[in-house]
């Protein structure tokens, strides 16, 4: 048997392409706002994580350009060695202040951040990662690494605090544990049951890590994320996030106690053996943070935009998941229907993300739509009306 056989036998993507409904890897030619250009056509974007629309903000762009002029295009080294700029320190200090945490450490992506934290902190035979079953893939990758280093992995039913307690109550009380959860889940957009989670963490001797990739700039006071949403800033041990969404850039971060951040700085493989975020990426994130702090109305606008679509699609008869974040998932229920719906929306000028099985369970196939504070009513109305038109054509409403 040849290792590559599986690659030659994987034909599903080709089949979907042949049917003309393949939604992935579509090159975007212009990306200046809620209307993008793909295949020469203007399309309303309803699937981006550019929540505050800041990738197109003049101040953010200018900050990136200025950083290139001052520091060049790359750092060519890891933070540990030659890759630390004063700009990295400035962003870490600003974020620590923003979150009210002792310290912050930057990583080069959000994905690497989870991989950098989890196996560094949890690796001993007597240590446990306790993880929500629906956590993001980067957390899954981090926990697999932890397991590979002899730690134990326990998973609980999605956002089910009774199940979390069932799992925790079986573990030795003295054993060190890390409970990990998305703050806002990336597929369904629901918010973690944080008050109960932190209560259980205290009861069962566990530390907590919350992935706020879809929460910062979206929920909490002034967009300060999940802990802030519940007034539990002092009760969450570690918060991680990304610059690839609200912060209009690329990179990741973790906020927490100074001694823990210091430990990660000296033992986290994903940090030490990978080049630091580029000057442009850091400067863009800093500029986006300035805007988030100075213009909190953008967060309110984002949520009112998402709520408008959620309410109107529901009223039209779509199966829309409840929520109050920027993510509005519309369930369609099968792979073929999902691909067909995507194509029709695309042909009618609306771009959404298609989630099919096994990425989501059978029956939960969805158009995962998400909103930006830069969507105007005309964009939202266009999205809503196009959904209604296509939904009727497909017999969904």
Best CA proximity match to 253, nearest among 136, 264, 146: 264
The C-alpha atoms of residue 291 and residue 57 are separated, in whole angstroms, by: 9
175/275 with CB nearer ligand PMP: 275
Best CA proximity match to 138, nearest among 111, 117, 116: 111
Best CA proximity match to 368, nearest among 301, 310, 308: 310
Q: Is 109 in the site for ligand PMP (CB under 6 A)?
A: yes
Footprint of ligand PMP on 176-195 (CB under 6 A)? 182, 186
226/386 with CB nearer ligand PMP: 226
Q: How far is the CB of 239 from ligand PMP (least distance, A)?
A: 12
Residues 96, 129, 138, 287: which binds ligand PMP (CB under 6 A)? 138
Q: How far is the CB of 136 from ligand PMP (least distance, A)?
A: 4
Give every CB contact of residue 389 below 8 A, 6+ residues apart in sequence.
Answer: 348
C-alpha pair distances (Å), 357 with each of 73, 225, 335, 367: 39, 29, 7, 12
228/242 with CB nearer ligand PMP: 242
- DSSP string of 5-63? HHHHH--HHHHHHHTT---SSPPEEE-SSSEEEETTEEEEE-S---TT-GGG-HHHHHH
Segment lying near ligand PMP (by CB under 6 A), choices 210-218, 266-274, 285-293, 316-324: 210-218
Residues 51, 99, 111, 371: which binds ligand PMP (CB under 6 A)? 111
51/339 with CB nearer ligand PMP: 51
Q: Is 226 in the site for ligand PMP (CB under 6 A)?
A: no
Q: How far is the CB of 287 from ligand PMP (least distance, A)?
A: 17
223/252 with CB nearer ligand PMP: 252
The residues binding ligand PMP (CB under 6 A) are 109-111, 136, 138, 182, 186, 211, 213-214, 242, 244, 252
């Amino acid at each position: 048997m040849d290792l590559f056989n599986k690659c030659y036998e994987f034909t599903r993507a080709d089949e979907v392409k042949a049917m003309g409904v393949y939604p992935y890897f579509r090159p975007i030619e212009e990306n200046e706002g809620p209307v993008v250009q793909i295949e020469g056509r203007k399309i309303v974007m309803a699937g981006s994580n550019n929540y505050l629309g800041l990738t197109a903000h003049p101040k953010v762009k200018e900050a990136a350009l200025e950083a290139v002029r001052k520091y060049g295009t790359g750092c060519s080294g890891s933070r540990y060695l030659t890759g630390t700029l004063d700009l990295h320190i400035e962003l870490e200090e600003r974020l620590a202040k923003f979150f009210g945490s002792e310290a912050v450490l930057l990583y080069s992506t959000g994905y690497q951040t989870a991989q950098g934290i989890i196996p560094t902190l949890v690796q001993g035979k007597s240590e446990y990662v306790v993880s929500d079953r629906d956590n993001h893939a980067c957390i899954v990758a981090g926990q697999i690494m932890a397991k590979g280093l002899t730690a134990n992995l326990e998973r609980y039913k999605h956002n089910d605090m009774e199940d979390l307690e069932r799992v925790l109550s079986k573990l030795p009380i003295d054993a060190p544990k890390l409970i990990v959860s998305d703050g806002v889940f990336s597929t369904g957009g629901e918010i973690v049951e944080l008050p109960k989670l932190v209560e259980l963490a205290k009861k069962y001797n566990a530390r907590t890590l919350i992935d706020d990739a879809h929460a910062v700039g979206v929920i909490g006071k002034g967009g300060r994320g999940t802990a802030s949403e519940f007034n539990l800033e002092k009760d969450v041990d570690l918060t991680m996030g990304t610059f690839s969404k609200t912060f209009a850039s690329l990179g990741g971060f973790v906020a927490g106690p100074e001694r823990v951040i210091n430990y990660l700085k000296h033992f986290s493989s994903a940090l030490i053996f990978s080049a630091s975020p580029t000057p442009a990426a850091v400067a863009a994130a800093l500029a986006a943070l300035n805007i988030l702090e100075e213009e909190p109305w953008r967060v309110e606008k984002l949520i009112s935009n998402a709520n408008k679509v959620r309410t109107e699609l529901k009223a039209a008869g779509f199966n829309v998941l409840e929520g109050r974040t920027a993510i509005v998932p519309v369930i369609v229920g099968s792979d073929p229907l999902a691909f067909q719906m995507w194509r029709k929306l695309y042909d009618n000028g609306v771009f959404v993300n298609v989630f099919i099985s096994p990425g989501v369970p059978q029956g939960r196939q969805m158009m995962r739509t998400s909103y930006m504070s830069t969507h105007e009513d005309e964009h939202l109305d266009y999205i809503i009306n196009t959904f209604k038109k296509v939904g009727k054509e497909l017999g969904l409403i």
